[in-house]
Amino acid sequence: MPPRLLHPDEYELVSRSSFDSRDSFDLDEADPESRALASPSYPKQSLSLLQRLWASLPPAIRPPRRFLLRNRSSRPAWKGSTRPSCSYRPSACRRLFFVAYILSGIVAVLVLLTAIISPSYTHRPAHYDALRQAIRDSNEPGRGNPRNEKVFIAASIYDRDGSLARGQWGRNVLDLIELLGPDNTYLSVFENDSGDVSAAALQDLEQKVPCNRSMVYEPHLDLKNIPRVTLPGGSERLKRIAFLSEVRNRALQPLDDPDRERFDKLLYINDVFFDPIDAVQLLFATNVDKDGKSHYRAACAVDFINAFKFYDTFAARDLEGYSTGIPFYPWFSDAGEGQSRHDVLHQRDAVRVRSCWGGGTTSRLRHEHFTPLASERSQTNTGMRRNAV
């Protein structure tokens, strides 16, 4: 008679009835472990975390069940047994998909918990919302400048096709002037070497500006006094920071006039699109005291290259002078005492730093900081067009 399965390690010759046949033989029914699991007397066991994850996997990447179950036998299946042993080794590709699925699930859970428990600057301080609401509730010029502070706006741009001056950037500048009040604002824009189209666009913008202004276009900027570096191949290149400093100083040149108007704050903007209300909040809502007055020597807007990546890491240094970490939230490393990182994690509107530069940078103007430029510097600017009203 053929053997009848009783246990993985035991066989016994038993009599076979006429109802037994190959077609009616049930291997799971014959397996004592399967019968024990289905028996009412066998205590039910809860599924492990790994088994639940296995059940949630798509069938295409799901490993076989016996890969997740450990052998319950107290001895190896090959020892003292005539039952053939089957082993399964999942392919490397399937293992990779399995690990990627688990990791993506962990990341998704962490992102969800972070967004719920500690969202990054989702809720602004109350005085930010109050200033925004006051701006929206009125149409009066200067409604974003409750203390009527004098603001000098400077910008150096390169607008080859004229899309900045004639587009959204130009409209944002005009809206910002209205929020600050034309009587409280001076606009200075410097542009060079960008072509006739750009010069015409800048002139069109100038005709729309309602405040005192200096709109300067330089057809060819003399670069002979700007330091250069020699590359290993022998070619020379301008020092980028020295060049940017030169064009930015040209935009600030109206401040050299000894008979100039006195200003309380300087706002330097570049060619980044900005919200005029955000610029007003940077000026007047950053680090305010109990009287609602802002206190800072300089404050920088945070510029992002995409929805989540911090852009201006070149000039940014934390409060102790350390460079930023990876350009993702919370941006600063924990080097030293990590005070800047601590400010970010505690959602402070004014994060203390040693240095910064962004799409918008504001500072207090102390007039003793500005002295007239040397005469030879002034002589090099005789070809510049300046209109001041």
Highest mean pLDDT of the ranges 80-94, 113-127, 221-235: 221-235
Instruction: State which of 96, 117, 138 marks the end of a domain.
Output: 117
Q: How high is the pLDDT of residue 373?
A: 43
Instruction: State which of 117, 146, 172 marks the end of a domain.
Output: 117
Q: Identify whether the C-beta of residue 344 lies closer than 8 Å to the C-beta of residue 355.
A: no
Closest among 151, 50, 153 to 360, alpha carbons compared: 153
In this structure, are 105 and 212 located in the same domain? no
Q: How high is the pLDDT of residue 339?
A: 94
Q: What is the mean pLDDT of residues 240-257?
A: 92
Cα separations in angstroms, 194 against 24, 34, 199: 88, 81, 8
Structure tokens at 41: 């007397």
In this structure, are 215 and 276 located in the same domain? yes
In this structure, are 217 and 194 located in the same domain? yes
Q: Is the pLDDT of residue 73 over 80?
A: no
Q: Identify whether the C-beta of residue 138 lies closer than 8 Å to the C-beta of residue 179.
A: no
- For the stretch 186-209, pLDDT in tens is 999 999 999 999 999 999 999 999
Q: Is residue 386 part of a domain?
A: no
In this structure, are 112 and 130 located in the same domain? no
Q: Is the pLDDT of residue 8 over 90?
A: no
- Cα 265 to Cα 65: distance, rounded to the nearest angstrom: 69
pLDDT bin (cut points 50, 70, 90) of residue 26 is: low
Domain membership of residue 75 as a residue range: 50-117
In this structure, are 174 and 259 located in the same domain? yes
In this structure, are 5 and 89 located in the same domain? no
For residues 347-369, one letter each, b for 16 or more C-beta atoms within 10 angstroms of the residue's C-beta and e for the rest, the string is: eebebebeebbbbbbbeebeeee
Structure tokens at 355: 């240095």
Q: How high is the pLDDT of residue 383?
A: 30
Highest mean pLDDT of the ranges 4-8, 280-284, 305-309, 328-332: 280-284
Lowest-confidence region among 5-14, 92-101, 171-180 = 5-14
pLDDT bin (cut points 50, 70, 90) of residue 48 is: low
Q: Is the pLDDT of residue 164 over 50?
A: yes
Q: What is the mean pLDDT of residues 239-243?
A: 91
Higher pLDDT among residues 181 and 63, named by residue: 181
Q: Is the pLDDT of residue 16 over 90?
A: no
In this structure, are 167 and 231 located in the same domain? yes
Question: What is the DSSP code string of 340-373?
Answer: HHHHHHTT-SS--EEE---SEEEEE--GGG--PP
151 by DSSP, 3-state: which?
A: strand
In this structure, are 9 and 65 located in the same domain? no
In the block, which residue shows the tokens 């006039």?
257
164-172: long-range contacts, CB 8 A cutoff, minimum separation 24: 164/201, 164/271, 165/198, 165/201, 165/202, 165/204, 165/205, 166/201, 166/204, 166/205, 168/273, 169/271, 169/273, 170/201, 170/205, 170/208, 172/273, 172/274, 172/275, 172/276
Number of folded domains that form the chain: 3
Alpha-helical segments (H) within 229-353: 240-251, 276-284, 339-345
Sheet holding 360-364, edge to edge: 212-218, 185-192, 151-157, 265-269, 360-364, 298-300
Q: How many CA atoms lie within 13 A of 336 on its CB side?
A: 15
Higher pLDDT among residues 376 and 18, named by residue: 18
- For the stretch 165-179, pLDDT in tens is 999 999 999 999 999
Q: How high is the pLDDT of residue 65?
A: 56
- Cα 52 to Cα 60: distance, rounded to the nearest angstrom: 16
Q: What is the mean pLDDT of residues 17-34?
A: 49
Q: Is the pLDDT of residue 246 over 80?
A: yes
Q: How high is the pLDDT of residue 123?
A: 77
Q: Is the pLDDT of residue 380 over 90?
A: no
Q: Is the pLDDT of residue 312 over 50?
A: yes
In this structure, are 111 and 214 located in the same domain? no
Highest mean pLDDT of the ranges 209-213, 221-225, 231-235: 209-213
Closest among 58, 61, 65, 133 to 92, alpha carbons compared: 61
∠ CA(121), CA(320), CA(244), 5° rounding? 80
Strands 236-238 and 228-230, bridge-based pairing? antiparallel
In this structure, are 70 and 89 located in the same domain? yes
Q: What phi and psi values does residue 250 have, to the nearest 5 degrees?
A: -65, -40
Q: How far apart are the first and last CA of the chain?
A: 114
Torsion of CA 354, 357, 362, 364, to 10 degrees: 40
Share of the chain above pLDDT 90, in %: 44
pLDDT bin (cut points 50, 70, 90) of residue 388 is: very low
Residue type, 322: Y
Q: Is the pLDDT of residue 386 over 90?
A: no
Return the beta strands (E) in the chain as ranges: 4-7, 10-12, 151-157, 185-192, 212-218, 228-230, 236-238, 265-269, 298-300, 317-318, 353-355, 360-364
Q: What is the mean pLDDT of residues 270-291?
A: 92
Q: Is residue 273 part of a domain?
A: yes
- Cα 155 to Cα 274: distance, rounded to the nearest angstrom: 13
Q: How high is the pLDDT of residue 66?
A: 53
Q: Is residue 207 part of a domain?
A: yes
In this structure, are 106 and 23 located in the same domain? no
Q: Is the pLDDT of residue 90 over 50?
A: yes
Exposed / middle / buried, residue 285 (Cβ in 10 Å: 0-12, 13-18, 19+) = buried
In the block, which residue shows the tokens 């066989």?
11
Q: What is the mean pLDDT of residues 243-272?
A: 91
Q: How high is the pLDDT of residue 382?
A: 27
Instruction: State which of 117, 141, 159 marks the end of a domain.
Output: 117
Q: Is residue 77 part of a domain?
A: yes
- Cα 361 to Cα 380: distance, rounded to the nearest angstrom: 28
Lowest-confidence region among 206-220, 334-348, 365-379 = 365-379
Q: What is the CATH number of the domain that holds 228?
A: 3.90.550
pLDDT bin (cut points 50, 70, 90) of residue 2 is: low
Q: Is residue 349 part of a domain?
A: no
Q: What is the mean pLDDT of residues 27-54?
A: 53
The pTM score is: 0.68
Q: Is residue 194 part of a domain?
A: yes
Lowest-confidence region among 4-8, 129-133, 253-257 = 4-8
Q: Is residue 223 part of a domain?
A: yes
Q: Is residue 144 part of a domain?
A: yes
In this structure, are 15 and 64 located in the same domain? no
Cα separations in angstroms, 29 against 32, 288, 379: 8, 77, 102
- Cα 203 to Cα 206: distance, rounded to the nearest angstrom: 5
